[in-house]
Amino acid sequence: MVSLSSVCVYCGSSGLVNDVYKDAARQLGTRLAEAGIRLVYGGGRVGLMGLVADAALAAGGHVIGIIPDHIRALEVGHNALSELLVVDSMHERKRLMIEHSDGFVVLPGGFGTLDETFEVVTWKQLRLHDKPIVIADIAGYWAPLVTLFEHITAEGFVSGGHRRLFRVASDTDGILDALHGRAPL
């Protein structure tokens, strides 16, 4: 079983999304805090990012936000976190999020979430880390992405063994099981 003291959650900053995604963000934040797992995330107060952070804080959790100064300047930074690290660039943000985390969860999101997901999976492929990655396929949101990964593998661009780089879970209970290695690949 994997020991986790901190988990990075990648997710969207939009609030104009289906309530099922909002509920999953809240549930995950609460469950991480209840399990004594520190939340690391992008530092925003909006969208799923704000919901997961607020839920973790409300449940007594420790939350570290990492936000580039140019995004904080747009007044979307969360000001009530346990820690808010303000950095100079998106590259520095992503690097610190990886360094501060023992595992990763990918909730529904947009281009930024995809960027972070591809980077953390690629870093694992390159053996720059060996931390668990869970794609949270809430209400089938990431099913097309998982299909794309299968297609990339079938076409020979990655080996079949690379499917072991991440696990897929469909709900918050499954996310925690997958993070701890208790769910199938």
Q: What does the block give as tokens for 155?
A: 């076409």
Residue 96 domain-assigned (yes or no):
yes
Q: What is the pLDDT of residue 79?
A: 86
CA distance 140 to 41: 22
DSSP assignment of 80-139, as one string?
SSSEEEEES-HHHHHHHHHHT-SEEEE-S--HHHHHHHHHHHHHHHTTS----EEEE-GG
pLDDT string in tens for the chain (185-residue length): 567 999 999 999 998 999 999 999 999 999 999 999 999 999 999 999 999 999 999 999 999 999 999 888 776 778 899 999 999 999 999 999 999 999 999 999 999 999 999 999 999 999 999 999 999 999 999 999 999 999 999 999 988 777 789 999 999 989 999 998 876 65
The burial of 141, by beta-carbon neighbours within 10 Å (0-12 exposed, 13-18 middle, 19 or more buried), is given as buried
- In the sheet that holds 133-136, the strands lie side by side as 83-87, 63-68, 38-41, 6-10, 103-106, 133-136, 167-169
The domain that contains 12 carries what CATH number? 3.40.50.450
Domain span at residue 166 reads: 6-179
Q: What is the pLDDT of residue 184?
A: 62
pTM of structure: 0.94
Residue 146 domain-assigned (yes or no):
yes
Q: What is the pLDDT of residue 129?
A: 94
Query: 132 φ, ψ to 5°?
Result: -65, 140
Residue 138 domain-assigned (yes or no):
yes
Residue 129 domain-assigned (yes or no):
yes
Residue 1 domain-assigned (yes or no):
no
Instruction: Count structural domains, the chain.
Output: 1
Residue 185 domain-assigned (yes or no):
no
Residue 51 domain-assigned (yes or no):
yes
What is the CB-side half-sphere exposure of residue 58 using CA atoms within 13 A? 12
Residue among 72, 78, 79, 120 at smallest CA distance from 97 = 120
Q: What does the block give as tokens for 176?
A: 């925690």
- CB of 76 closer than 8 Å to CB of 90: no
